[in-house]
Structure 1
Amino acid sequence: MKDIAATLRAWMDAGRPFALASVVATTGSSPRPLGTALAVDADGTAVGGVSGGCVEAAVYVRCQEVLESGTAATESFGSTEEERFYLGITCEGSMEVLVVRVEPDDPAIGAALDAILAGEPVSLVRAVDGPHVGDAVAISPNGFAGRLELGAIDLPAVSGTVRGGAVEGDTAVRFAVEVYSPPPRLLVYGGVDFAAPIVRVAKTLGFRVTVCDARPVFATEIRFPDADEVIVDWPHRHFDQAAVDADTAIVVLTHDAKFDLPLLERALASEAGYIGALGSRATHRDRLERLREAGLAEDALARLRSPIGLDLNGRTADETALSIVAEIVAVRNDARAGFLTNAEGPIHH
């Protein structure tokens, strides 16, 4: 739902009800994760998707039916070989999709969308089956919004869970929890020519991007219109004030020891999930030696990725940016980052 949040919020603000179809369970090979959503309004306009194409038409029809009836339902797609043939599902996976009608004043969906768009953490807990299928509550640091009748569930205890269940009377009730975290951060140090396309690509992938350079002529909003922040400061001084966690990626592009080394000493001691620095292999060897002299241990130095990026043999700034951001994504996803055509096993692992 995250990728269509702005459109759904606009529909609600305009008083337009819509049907929301969300992936709540998958088995086997599935191209989209839990929480992926397709929405259809009364005019038949569709946004998002649940499968990458193979069951979109069937889900679209189901959305129109639920939008008209108002009755929520959980549907299974691809659970049998016959159904996969009928729907044109070529992979050996199946999925369950929860379809609900969303009114413009829906408190749970509205609160979840507001939190997503504000970059705040929120969990959306929804009944997948049982007598109250489709009921939902949004849980955020600001409290609860919505209604979820699931017996004696302690809602605060489930906010970090992926799936779970409860018993209401003699009926087993399943629920799904969609957890939306704030966007990952990318700190780009150095306003060089590679930085602008890195910012563009990273923003497309949902990162919150900060560009920092000590040189005012290079750190300008005109050069980096897509960045969330453009800071004029020494990189290490800015880093000392930055909130860095495991969802933070750090890209060092200045290629100048007086900027790079003080910054990398701090970055390699932080919790940052990715740290990469521009430079040749010779530059990297020299940089490592200087960092050793500064007292950094080998396990810290092993975290530094340089030369930076995946091996795409790119030459242009755009190709270099693609290589760097692709490596960040690969590290975040703990991926092999090789050619899929040469790999074995599941595509989505």
Structure 2
Amino acid sequence: MRDYQMREVTSAIKSWQKQGKAIAIATIVKVEGTPLRPLGSKMVVTSDKQIAGSITGGCIEGGIYEEAQTVIKSCQPKLLHFGLLNDESPWEIGLSCGSSIDVFIEPLDSPVWKEIYPVLETSLSKNQLMAIGTILSGAKLGSKLVVWPNGDVHGSLGSQVLDKQAVEWMKQQLLVQGSSSMTFDEAGAQVEVFVDVITTPARLVIVGAVHIAIPLVSMAKILGFHTIVIDPRSAFATRERFPHVDELVTEWPSTALEKLRPDECTYIAVLSHDDKLDNPALQVALASPARYVGILGTHKNIPKRLNELRDLGVTEEQLSRLHAPIGLKLGAIQPEEIALSVLAEIVAAKHGLSKIQENPVKSTFSH
């Protein structure tokens, strides 16, 4: 589950708990067909008809709400199936899209959640990547195990043998940052475990506090990005111009990027259109494992920029990663339109669709 989605849910939980409300949390643990929402998507429900989060965007939320009331009253978790199978169960007709999903509903008043929830809140506050394993079948239904990339573990699935198997698999899921299910054998019994990987916030680093950057920050915040604007020109990099940005850095871009240590969850948009700012920043960005690097420009001036980067020692392999000119081809003219095209390309890269638009660097300048 994405960090910003979990934060939406935990924010509601925190408010409701202060009011003493009973709460159930519903999680998508299995999907067949084309999902409306990804694995790990959550919805929280109170006994007095309040809802936060989303499972499908509307088509089965009513059914989940009703089942959540039962879970709250019984304080027992429940696994439900929603789909279009030939079955007389009313939950088999919940989805009209041809897909099917399994939803696990749990009471937050259960001993398991009372133990795990403070740990979850602490990890979220520290922006830590984590994986939460939950048993979906058998006598230990609902038992949880939390694993962090450094190998730390909290909780238990009920036995040392199962914990050992699950921890190794959960570490692999942390590497790929993907939620999934796995069935383990324990003393001859099949035990299904769902692992929900809570990712760290994706970072959007913008080099250049230019006009385009203003709407780009606002749009990116809506999508849950942690936004950083870098520009040594303090007259441009101001809170008045960027009231919504998470971080304003008034340092030389290449120096600031080195300090930020871009990783696989970092997306870099170089927008200043000033060679002395852009080129050193691109040199650092392209040498990093950043998931996306793009630069503002035109097809006419990109060849000159690429040759300048080559002179700085940037390799052809590194240049092949550069999205130049930045953004999808939307015919954008206004700053807000250009920002939209940039963010659209970043979202495509985030979901593994970076080749949605032909990369002119690869097609024209690769050797």
**Structure 1 position 316, deviation (Å):** 1.9
1:92 aligned onto 2:101: no
In structure 2, C-alpha distance between the alignment counterparts of 1:85 and 1:170, rounded to whole Å: 31
2:306 and 2:250 map into 1 onto residues whose CA distance is 27
SS of the equivalent of 2:205 reads strand
1:171 and 1:16 map into 2 onto residues whose CA distance is 37
Is residue 126–residue 176 contact of structure 1 (8 Å, CA) maintained in 2?
yes
1:163 maps onto 2:181 in alignment: yes
1:115 to 116, 123, 134: 123
Aligned residues: 339
- Contact (CA 8 Å) 1:23, 1:37: kept in 2 or not? yes
Counterparts of 1:247-258 in structure 2, within 5 Å, are: 247-258=265-276
Instruction: Label 1:139 to 1:9 Cα distance change in 2 as closer, same or farther (>3 A).
Output: farther
Q: 1:337 to 1:61 in 2, by over 3 A?
A: farther
Pick aligned residue for 1:289 from 307, 311, 314:
307
Structure 1's 79 and 118: CA in aligned 2 closer, same or farther, altered over 3 A? farther
Code of the aligned partner of 2:185: V
How far did residue 46 of structure 1 move? 0.9
Cα pair 1:6 1:117 within 8 Å, conserved: no
State the partner residue of 2:23.
Answer: 18
How many angstroms apart in 1 are the aligned matches of 2:313 and 2:354? 31
For the Cα contact (< 8 Å) 2:81–2:91, is it kept in 1? no
Match in the other structure for 1:31: 36
* 1:260 alignment partner in structure 2: 278
How far is 1:99 from its partner? 0.8
Q: Answer whether contact 1:5 1:116 (CA < 8 A) is retained.
A: no
Between the aligned partners of 1:213 and 1:111, the Cα distance in structure 2 is: 37
Structure 1 range deviating more: 248-257 or 71-80: 71-80
Moved more, 211-220 or 82-91: 82-91
Partners of 1:337 and 1:295 in 2: CA distance = 25
Q: CA deviation at 1:15?
A: 3.7
Shift of 1:148: 2.8
Give 2:287's aligned amino acid. Answer: A
Q: 1:57 to 1:324 in 2, by over 3 A?
A: same
* 2:342 equivalent in structure 1: 324
Given the alignment of the two structures, is residue 65 of structure 1 paired with residue 65 of structure 2, yes or no?
Answer: no
Q: C-alpha displacement at 1:264, in angstroms?
A: 1.1
C-alpha distance in 1, partners of 2:264/2:65? 38
**One-letter amino acid of the structure 1 residue matched with residue 131 of structure 2:** S
Residue 201 of structure 1 and its aligned partner are, at CA, apart by 1.3
Q: Is the 8 A contact 2:84 2:93 kept in 1?
A: no
- Structure 1 contact 116–122 (Cα < 8 Å) conserved: no
Q: Residue deviations 1:286-319, cap 9 Å, x none?
A: 1012112223222221211121111122222222
Could you tell me which of 248, 263, 270 is aligned with 1:230?
Answer: 248
Moved more, 143-152 or 194-203: 143-152
CA root-mean-square deviation: 2.4
Q: What is the CA–CA distance in structure 1 between the aligned matches of 2:158 and 2:18, rounded to whole Å?
A: 27
Decide which of 104, 123, 148 is 2:157's aligned counterpart.
Answer: 148
Distance in 2 (CA, whole Å) between partners of 1:240 and 1:29 is: 40
What corresponds to 2:327 in structure 1? 309
Match of 2:61 among 56, 59, 75: 56
Query: Aligned runs of 1:266-285 on 2, under 5 Å?
Result: 266-285=284-303
Question: Deviations 1:190-240 (Å, cap 9, x if unpaired)?
Answer: 000111111111111111111110101011122112111101111111112
1:177 is matched with 195
Question: Structure 2 stretches of 5 or more lacking a match?
Answer: 174-179, 358-367
Amino acid in structure 1 at the alignment position of 2:96:
T
Q: Give secondary structure in 1 for the equivalent of 2:72.
A: helix
| 8 Å Cα contact 1:9/1:113 also seen in 2 | no
1:78 aligns with: 83
What is the Cα deviation at residue 73 of structure 1? 1.1
Q: Which one-letter code corresponds to 2:170 in the other structure?
A: S
Percent sequence identity over aligned pairs: 31
Q: Provide, for residues 133-170 of structure 1, a one-character-per-residue CA deviation record: whole Å limited to 9, x for no partner.
A: 12223334594444531562215323333322333444
One-letter identity of the residue aligned with 1:126? T
> 1:119, CA displacement in angstroms?
1.7
More displaced 10-residue stretch of structure 1: 312-321 or 34-43:
312-321
Partner of 1:254, secondary structure, is coil
TM-score (norm 1): 0.89
Alignment pair present for 1:124 and 2:132: yes
Residue 84 to residue 262, structure 1, CA distance change in 2 (3 Å): farther
Alpha-carbon distance between aligned partners in 2 of 1:299 and 1:122, rounded to the nearest angstrom = 32
Q: Is the 8 A contact 1:54 1:87 kept in 2?
A: no
| Aligned residue type for 1:90 | S
- Aligned residue for 2:102, secondary structure, equals strand
Q: Which runs of 5+ in 1 are unaligned?
A: 340-349
Q: Which amino acid is 1:173 matched to?
A: V
Kindly tell me: are residues 81 and 318 of structure 1, through their superposed partners in 2, closer, same or farther at Cα, counting changes over 3 Å?
Answer: farther
* Partner SS state of residue 107, structure 2: strand
Between Structure 1 and Structure 2, which shows a larger proportion of helix residues? 2
1:246 alignment partner AA? E
Please state whether the residue corresponding to 1:99 is helix, strand or coil. Answer: strand
